[in-house]
């Protein structure tokens, strides 16, 4: 009997991503399945720098902070973990967990935070890939890691939640802000949530955006910028100017949409022109 060669085709991550996107467009995959598979494909290529909360957006506390001040910060931000630093943010000593506030006697709440409440953090370089990072965090049971740059300074922090969101999409909890509604400012300007779907944007304000591998206004911005948007980033498409107004970590919360002056019909006709958008940051 002659042996039969087995065919074992392999595909690159880009090819698999394209097949997943095509299956989603044809309705063969549900939205969650699409996000999960797409996230899994790109997960191994990302590093800590790509998913971290950057230094400029950190809510941290000095080692001299009092439990009373920390409690106010917990109530204001809704966060439960805070990096604790010494002389500067480049000297992170560890982090404080809000549940430890219950262990501090009332008479000590106006005194500096006792050092034994500062917990150790996992420390990783910006280049650390997400697969080994997730393994390290699970093995050491650390949900909070400090990301350092090539000079040893603080670049940001990354959490277990940040890693999981790369796989399954945004995770919302009771502390996250409620979604914004579409708010009309005048005849040419609207405040719009980044989560607004493309067809909803057309129905709500008449802004027609081209189809692509995205479902929301935030996804359109990321597609045009080819990176995670930042506050004040601006994209112009067919007479519409979309400016990022607010962010929450890596999530576009709200954008300002401005329509081109003139007749709405002419704006709508230009909105149908493909590849007519530009991006500025």
- The answer as to CATH 3.30.300.30 being correct for domain 183-280 is no
pLDDT block averages, 10 residues each, the chain of length 281? 48 49 53 50 74 87 95 88 94 94 93 94 91 87 90 90 70 51 87 87 88 85 88 90 83 85 37 47 56
What 3-state DSSP class applies to 195?
Answer: coil
With tokens 């911005």, the residue in question is 221
Residue 197 pLDDT: 86
Integer Cα distance of 194 and 198 in angstroms: 10
Distance CA 245, CA 253 (A): 8
The residue ranges of every structural domain in the chain are 49-168, 183-280
Tell me, what's the pLDDT at 271?
Answer: 33
| Strands across the sheet containing 277-280 | 183-184, 189-193, 251-258, 240-248, 234-237, 277-280
The pLDDT of residue 27? 56
Task: State pTM to two decimals.
Answer: 0.54
pLDDT for the residue numbered 236: 92
CA separation for the pair 251, 116 (Å, rounded): 34
Half-sphere exposure of residue 239: CA atoms within 13 angstroms, side-chain side = 19
pLDDT at 155: 92
- Which CATH number is associated with domain 49-168? 3.10.580.10
**Contact predicate 23/146, CB 8 Å:** no
The Cα 239–Cα 262 span in angstroms is 10
Q: What is the pLDDT of residue 89?
A: 94
Question: What is the structure's pLDDT at 153?
Answer: 92
pLDDT reported for residue 247: 82
C-beta separation of 49 from 126 below 8 A: yes
Say what the pLDDT of residue 83 is. 95
């Amino acid at each position: 009997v002659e042996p039969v060669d087995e065919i074992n085709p392999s595909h690159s991550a880009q090819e698999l991503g394209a097949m997943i996107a095509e299956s989603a467009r044809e309705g063969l995959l549900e939205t969650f399945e699409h996000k999960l598979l797409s996230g899994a494909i790109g997960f191994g290529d990302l590093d800590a720098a790509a998913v971290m909360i950057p230094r400029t957006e950190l809510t941290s506390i000095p080692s001299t902070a009092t439990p009373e001040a920390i409690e106010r910060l917990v109530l204001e931000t809704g966060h439960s973990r805070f990096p604790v630093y010494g002389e500067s943010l480049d000297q992170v000593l560890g982090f404080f967990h809000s549940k430890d506030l219950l262990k501090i006697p009332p008479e000590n709440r106006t005194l500096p935070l006792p050092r034994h409440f500062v917990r150790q953090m996992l420390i990783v370089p910006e280049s650390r890939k997400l697969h080994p990072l997730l393994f390290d965090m699970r093995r050491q049971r650390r949900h909070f890691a400090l990301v350092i740059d090539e000079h040893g300074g603080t670049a940001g922090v990354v959490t277990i939640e940040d890693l999981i969101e790369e796989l399954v999409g945004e995770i919302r909890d009771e502390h996250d802000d409620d979604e914004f509604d579409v708010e009309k400012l005048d005849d040419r300007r609207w405040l719009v949530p980044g989560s607004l779907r493309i067809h909803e944007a057309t129905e709500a304000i008449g802004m027609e955006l081209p189809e692509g591998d995205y479902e929301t206004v935030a996804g359109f911005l990321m597609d045009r910028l080819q990176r995670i948007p930042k506050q004040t980033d601006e994209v112009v498409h067919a007479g519409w100017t979309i400016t990022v107004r607010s962010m929450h970590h890596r999530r576009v919360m709200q954008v300002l949409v401005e329509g081109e002056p003139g007749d709405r019909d002419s704006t709508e006709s230009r909105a149908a022109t493909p590849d007519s958008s530009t991006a500025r940051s």
